[in-house]
Amino acid sequence: MSALHLPITDPTWIFFLVLSVILFAPMMLERLRLPSIVGLIVAGMVIGPHGVRLLDRDASFELFGKVGLYYIMFLASLEMNLTDVMKNRNIAIGFGFISFALPFGVGFAVNHWLLGFTVPASLMVASMYAAHTLLTYPLVMRWGLSKHRAVGIAVGGTIITNVLTLLVLAVVGGVNKPGVTDFNLLELIAKICLVGVVIVLVFPRLCRWFFRRHGDSIVQYIYVLSLVFLGAGLMEWVGMEGILGAFLVGLALNRSIPPTGPLMNHIEFVGNALFIPYFLLGVGMLIDIRAMTTDRSVVLLAAIMLLTGVVGKGVAAWLSQKLFGLTRFEGRLIVGLSAARAAATLAIALVGYDIILPDGSRLLGDDVLNAAMLLILGSCVVASLATERAAKDIVLSGEAKQESSGETKDTLLVALNNPQTVIPMVNMALMLRTPVPTSELTAVSVVLDDDAEKRAAAQKQLDYAAKMAAAINVRMQTHCRWSVNAVTGIVHSAREYEASDILVGLHQKEHIGETFYGKFTTDLIAAARQQIIVYRALIPVHTIRRIHIVVPRKAEFDPGFRHWCRRMAMLATQTCSRISVYSGTTTLKAVEEVLRGEHRIVDAEYHEHLSWNDFLSVAERLRQDHLIVFIYAHKDMPSYHRYIDRIPEQLERYFSSRSSMIVVPAQSGAASNITSDLRSGISVRQK
């Protein structure tokens, strides 16, 4: 019965209560259209020692609090779409510096001369005004504006402001840490730069090296999490706050972790289900709810902080709008996206609260901590309302081109046969898949003998493939069919499911006299009219850093030209890879026009290459983490030439040790030709 006494101390009941709050608090706050982060903080205030005192802030909240703080900073940088940032990098960098400097400068003046804070406290609280979190990004996605220019600018500005904010936090926190007497700013900056260079340059290479050798997503998750804490530990070792290291690790691994892969799903799931909610509840327990309701000075302080922060971000967005020639609606959308405070503000408030000065007082006292929580709550409400209104006005004004609603059918069919290639084939299918609601993914296995044992083995492969897809919330249909001929079974399945693409693996030669493609692939290319993708995986798909595409001249006149261009753009976007295209001048311009005309956020370069007899110059550009893609052509297509038949020879001669892909475009009248104008919704990082 002691477990029922307040505060509850029994671990079983503590964990039950915490899980119950994590489950129900966001659901209740959602009806008020408030972010779940606010709901969990409020719940912590209510059940904590300053509320009804159901729970005390014990050691578990201390441990999970630190883990959750690192986790929330890691996710904040990991989920940013760096490709969006690069597209508008000049404006994004300019907005980032303005969005940091203006609120920070105004905030310092208000804190120091109006509120009477000390210089260190003024600097730390001013960094709260400068930081912002893309908490209202889901609203932008709901209105179909995730690829709008203003969104890319806001994402880029977020990176700049958060890095500068964390640097201020690191310096102020380092100077005021207990026991620090001989602080050297230059030495501190040198240590930060050294650790930052190690994280940014070494960690991605370590990550790709590990991923190429270990394909299990759980093992990969543990490895990534260890890198996060290693980065945080290195920052603490040089005298800084660990959150800066966790944030930099997220930026460094951003391109190594696909946003739609199983690993990203594990990272988001564990963080959002346990670590981050536990941390937010612990934050709420620090807040004195009675002081907030009885002490008017806390409410007044919070009002001044909220006004300073919102006005500072609003003026920064307006100034950026004027300087960079943005429209009025874009400026308002940037205000909405940059007004919310969450992760960085929480980190600053807690770090400042934990710093004990020589006189025994805290750098940021209880009143500032309580006011900071009200700042988070108020800024989230203001940002939500501003973003919703700006997004609605942009759509109604016709200023933005809407993303595809996915009305055109897009079905990718994966042919599975070899148990050893199930994982790479399904992973490639998930990267090629168009992330729109009507996009379908189907796995088919053809059994040639009416043998129950073989059918059970084939079904086992299909079940595993469906499980892989379900891990990232993608529904995969599976079909095990009997047929006297494998090609006939695949072709009939493609027709039944109205497939736009057929993905098959490249077979392994059994004897020297066998053809490169093998009889199955050769017959499939001849029989199917859909686009066929023949894939040979030597490294995991999410470790690919560059895609080299060799295109025959006049390919722009082929019926499936636009379709394979968009499919390759999708692959590049999902893997955060660069594209290098090789062809004649006219064809290169046509490829570039498709990518730009469809608003693809793809980093591509174009090289003139006319000889299909010698690919040594292309082979010299390839590295172990590159993918070579050859675009095929049927004999009745405008781009066909006899050198197309030399593709197998070129692959075996120059690219036998590299992952490769052969794309056979759809023929005229094929089902995939109907979907050649589909709008593949290449979206920003959804976590």
Mean pLDDT (whole number) for 494-500: 86
Identical topology for domains 2-397 and 410-674: no
The pLDDT assigned to 248 comes to 87
- Is the predicted pLDDT of residue 405 greater than 50, yes or no? no
- DSSP-assigned letter for residue 174: H
Answer CATH for 2-397 from 3.40.50.300, 3.40.190.10, 3.10.105.10, 1.20.1530.20? 1.20.1530.20
- Is the predicted pLDDT of residue 678 greater than 50, yes or no? no
The more confidently predicted of residues 178 and 76 is 76
Lowest average pLDDT, out of 180-189, 345-354, 644-653, goes to 180-189
The more confidently predicted of residues 169 and 129 is 129
* The most confident of 201-205, 260-264, 342-346, by mean pLDDT: 201-205
The pLDDT assigned to 228 comes to 92
Counting Cβ atoms within 10 Å, is residue 603 exposed (0-12), middle (13-18) or buried (19+)? middle
The pLDDT assigned to 600 comes to 54
The pLDDT assigned to 185 comes to 67
**Count of H helices and E strands in the chain?**
27, 10
The pLDDT assigned to 8 comes to 82
Query: Residues 302, 41, 78, CA angle at the centre, nearest 5°?
Result: 100
The more confidently predicted of residues 504 and 288 is 504
The pLDDT assigned to 601 comes to 63
The pLDDT assigned to 677 comes to 37
pLDDT band for 65, please (50, 70, 90 cuts). Answer: confident
The pLDDT assigned to 407 comes to 39
The pLDDT assigned to 4 comes to 55
Q: Could you read off the pLDDT of 106-152 as tens digits, one per residue?
A: 999 998 898 888 888 888 889 888 888 776 766 676 676 766 788 77
pLDDT band for 686, please (50, 70, 90 cuts). Answer: very low
- Is the predicted pLDDT of residue 1 greater than 60, yes or no? no
pLDDT band for 222, please (50, 70, 90 cuts). Answer: very high
The pLDDT assigned to 24 comes to 83
pLDDT band for 379, please (50, 70, 90 cuts). Answer: confident
Other CB atoms within a 10 A radius of the CB of residue 495 amount to 13
Query: How far are the Cα atoms of 33, 144, 265 from residue 681, in angstroms, in the given order?
Result: 27, 10, 19
Residue-by-residue DSSP string for 389-428: HHHHHHHHHT-SPPPP---S-EEEEEE---GGGHHHHHHH
Domain ranges of the chain: 2-397, 410-674
Q: Could you read off the pLDDT of 309-362 as tens digits, one per residue?
A: 889 888 998 998 888 888 888 888 888 888 888 767 877 888 888 888 777 788
Lowest average pLDDT, out of 126-140, 192-206, 523-537, goes to 126-140
pTM for this predicted structure = 0.69
Mean pLDDT (whole number) for 154-182: 74
pLDDT band for 402, please (50, 70, 90 cuts). Answer: very low
pLDDT band for 198, please (50, 70, 90 cuts). Answer: very high
- Is the predicted pLDDT of residue 387 greater than 60, yes or no? yes
pLDDT band for 548, please (50, 70, 90 cuts). Answer: very high
For residue 97, give both structure tokens.
């510096």
The pLDDT assigned to 54 comes to 86
Other CB atoms within a 10 A radius of the CB of residue 624 amount to 13
As a whole-number percent, the residues of the chain with pLDDT over 70 amount to 86
Q: Could you read off the pLDDT of 591-631 as tens digits, one per residue?
A: 988 887 654 567 788 998 877 777 888 888 898 889 999 99
Instruction: Name the amino acid, one letter, at 441.
Output: L
- Give the phi and the psi of residue 362 in degrees, each rounded to 5: -90, 150
Q: Could you read off the pLDDT of 6-51 as tens digits, one per residue?
A: 778 888 888 888 888 888 877 777 676 666 667 777 888 888 888 8
Cis peptide before 437 (omega within 30 of 0): no
pLDDT band for 518, please (50, 70, 90 cuts). Answer: low
As a whole-number percent, the residues of the chain with pLDDT over 90 amount to 9
Mean pLDDT (whole number) for 515-543: 81
- Cβ neighbors of 614 (< 8 A, separation 6 or more) are none
The pLDDT assigned to 456 comes to 86
- Is the predicted pLDDT of residue 510 greater than 70, yes or no? no
The pLDDT assigned to 505 comes to 87
Mean pLDDT (whole number) for 522-526: 81
Other CB atoms within a 10 A radius of the CB of residue 172 amount to 24
Report the C-alpha gap between 278 and 41 in whole angstroms.
10
- Is the predicted pLDDT of residue 80 greater than 80, yes or no? no
pLDDT band for 503, please (50, 70, 90 cuts). Answer: very high
The pLDDT assigned to 299 comes to 83
The pLDDT assigned to 403 comes to 43
- Is the predicted pLDDT of residue 511 greater than 50, yes or no? no
- Tell me if residue 431 falls in helix, strand or coil: helix
- Cβ neighbors of 121 (< 8 A, separation 6 or more) are 111, 352, 363, 364, 368
For residue 546, give both structure tokens.
């560059």
Task: Output 321-326 pairs: Cβ under 8 A, ≥24 positions apart.
Answer: 323/94, 323/98, 324/91, 324/94, 324/95, 326/91, 326/149, 326/150, 326/153
Answer CATH for 410-674 from 3.30.870.10, 3.60.140.10, 3.40.50.12370, 3.20.20.210? 3.40.50.12370
Average pLDDT, the chain: 80
